[in-house]
């Protein structure tokens, strides 16, 4: 999918351009620092405020940020300070959330492959746990301590279908997530699981992610509400007291417009099932990408420019190492790119169709194909927009490329202030991470077992 223009709208320019210019002036972007990610701190707070405002009429809701979207402790702490809880999907994410200061009671653990130790640890902490399947409920039966404070739920898959990116859709017929409700006998098994477990009080559903339209998401969550009503009717009282709606609000990557909005999401849920938000059930949301994507960007130096097959190719330091999904699925994950000169100001040169390639040593490492951009030259900068979620915070270590530095941006008194979120990884740290302390392990590290 080719985007009609690579020029940011005035709103994007007013946010990004001053930060790029100031970062170059301060040396945060330089020949020796050719790649960095940036987080717009006021933008993050504004997105959180918009989420809370959209749900203002819902009596009881916990908004839990999906840590996978930006697993950086300073970012998580900013979100906690803005009033968010945290959704985690691994032991690492759980400890990131705890280190960021989240109250365990405001943390939700989701994962399709929890070990017994992960479950035991979460239950001891009082973290909410959504079981992914019926077998996991049996593990919880055995591990749940007396007086356990954790809210416990079960994830179900309403099997309502896929969005535009099937790989990102979690409510397909064959999704690996949750109990597939439309499979023969599955619905009854779910109801019976609740009947046998009075401590099981939450239903969890997550219909999809990028590419899933609001009506599809709303259809799946309305089915979650219907199932909760059915379970409560069977047990004869309100055993299911909360619904975890997941996240998955799509992000508009075509321009700076926020679309759909959280208000649009609430309207779609209300249209599909008015009782879903009436306060009878406590709600949990798990938004990630929609909170962070438009509040971050990547800036990368143009190292070389060449011509190949009649097309200009700009080789930069941002490719599959930070934009893995875009490189491997460019039609599904296109990114806007804009051009800046060596001084960090937007380029005004004539437009030229060119590829923007990355540093990885394989031919497909291209983040933008045949884009109309001001002609790029060595020492210029390219900005990849809408990359605040899943990009610089989840780098790919192919070619042992270092993880880029990440900075928070705060406009103040006509300039931009920066705070280091994560320093750039050094080549020495790469070597240490890659087993330096055990360099001779395969030569001398094999112990001969003793014979009894």
Could you check whether the bond before residue 93 is cis, i.e. omega within 30 degrees of 0? no
Question: What span, in angstroms and rounded, lies between the C-alpha atoms of 66 and 215?
Answer: 22
Strands 85-88 and 61-66: parallel
| SS3 track for 379-414 | CCEEEECCCCCCCCCCCCCHHHCCCCEEEEEEEECC
Q: Are 67 and 88 in contact (CB under 8 A)?
A: yes
Q: What is the DSSP string of 87-133?
A: EE-SHHHHHHHHHTT--GGGEEEE-TT--HHHHHHHHHHT-EEEESS
Question: What span, in angstroms and rounded, lies between the C-alpha atoms of 356 and 285?
Answer: 36
User: What is the distance of C-alpha 362 from the center of its chain?
Assistant: 26
- CA-wise closest residue to 183 among 134, 232, 139, 229: 134
Question: What span, in angstroms and rounded, lies between the C-alpha atoms of 18 and 36?
Answer: 15
Q: Hey, which residues does 339 pair with through a beta bridge?
A: 382
Lookup: tokens for 183? 């499979």
For 344, counting Cβ atoms within 10 Å of its Cβ (0-12 exposed, 13-18 middle, 19+ buried), the class is buried
Catalytic residue set: 361
- CA-wise closest residue to 265 among 281, 279, 254, 276: 276
Q: Residues near 81 by Cβ (< 8 Å), separated by ≥ 6?
A: none
Lookup: tokens for 164? 């535009």
Q: Hey, which residues does 307 pair with through a beta bridge?
A: 312
Question: What span, in angstroms and rounded, lies between the C-alpha atoms of 264 and 215?
Answer: 11
């Amino acid at each position: 999918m080719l985007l009609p223009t690579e020029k940011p709208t005035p709103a994007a320019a007013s946010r990004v351009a001053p930060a790029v210019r100031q970062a170059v002036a301060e040396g945060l972007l330089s020949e020796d620092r050719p790649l960095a990610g940036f987080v717009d701190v006021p933008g993050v707070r504004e997105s959180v405020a918009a989420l809370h405002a959209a749900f203002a009429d819902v009596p009881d809701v916990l908004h839990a940020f999906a840590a996978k979207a930006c697993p950086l402790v300073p970012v998580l702490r900013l979100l906690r300070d803005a009033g968010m809880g945290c959704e985690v999907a691994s032991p690492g994410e759980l400890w990131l959330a705890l280190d960021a200061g989240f109250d365990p009671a405001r943390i939700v653990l989701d994962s399709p492959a929890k070990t017994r130790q992960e479950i035991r640890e979460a239950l001891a902490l009082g973290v909410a746990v959504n079981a992914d399947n019926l077998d996991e409920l049996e593990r919880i039966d055995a591990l749940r301590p007396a007086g356990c404070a954790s809210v416990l739920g079960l994830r179900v898959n309403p099997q309502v279908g896929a969005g535009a990116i099937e790989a990102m859709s979690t409510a397909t017929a064959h999704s690996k997530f949750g109990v597939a409700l439309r499979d023969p006998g599955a619905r009854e098994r779910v109801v019976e699981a609740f009947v046998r477990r009075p401590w099981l009080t939450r239903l969890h559903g997550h219909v999809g992610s990028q590419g899933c339209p609001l009506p599809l998401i709303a259809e799946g969550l309305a089915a979650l509400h219907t199932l909760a009503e059915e379970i409560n009717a069977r047990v004869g009282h309100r055993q299911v007291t909360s619904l975890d709606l997941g996240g998955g609000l799509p992000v508009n990557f075509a321009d700076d417009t926020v679309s759909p909005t959280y208000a649009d999401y609430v309207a779609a849920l209300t249209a599909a099932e008015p009782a879903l938000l009436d306060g009878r059930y406590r709600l949990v949301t798990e938004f990630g990408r929609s909170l962070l994507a438009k509040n971050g960007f990547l800036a990368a130096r143009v190292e070389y420019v060449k011509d190949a097959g009649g097309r200009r190719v700009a080789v930069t330091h941002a490719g599959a190492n930070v934009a893995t999904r875009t490189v491997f699925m460019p039609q599904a994950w296109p990114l806007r790119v804009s051009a800046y000169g060596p001084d960090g100001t937007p380029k005004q040169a004539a437009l030229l169709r060119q590829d923007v390639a990355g540093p990885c040593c394989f031919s497909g490492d291209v983040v933008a194909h045949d884009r109309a951009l001001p002609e790029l030259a060595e020492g210029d900068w390219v900005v990849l927009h809408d990359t605040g979620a899943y990009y610089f915070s989840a780098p790919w270590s192919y070619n042992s490329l270092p993880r880029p530095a990440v900075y928070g941006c705060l406009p103040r008194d006509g300039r931009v202030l920066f705070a280091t979120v994560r320093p750039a990884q050094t080549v020495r740290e790469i070597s240490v991470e890659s087993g330096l302390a055990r360099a001779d392990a395969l030569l001398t590290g094999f112990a001969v077992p003793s014979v009894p």
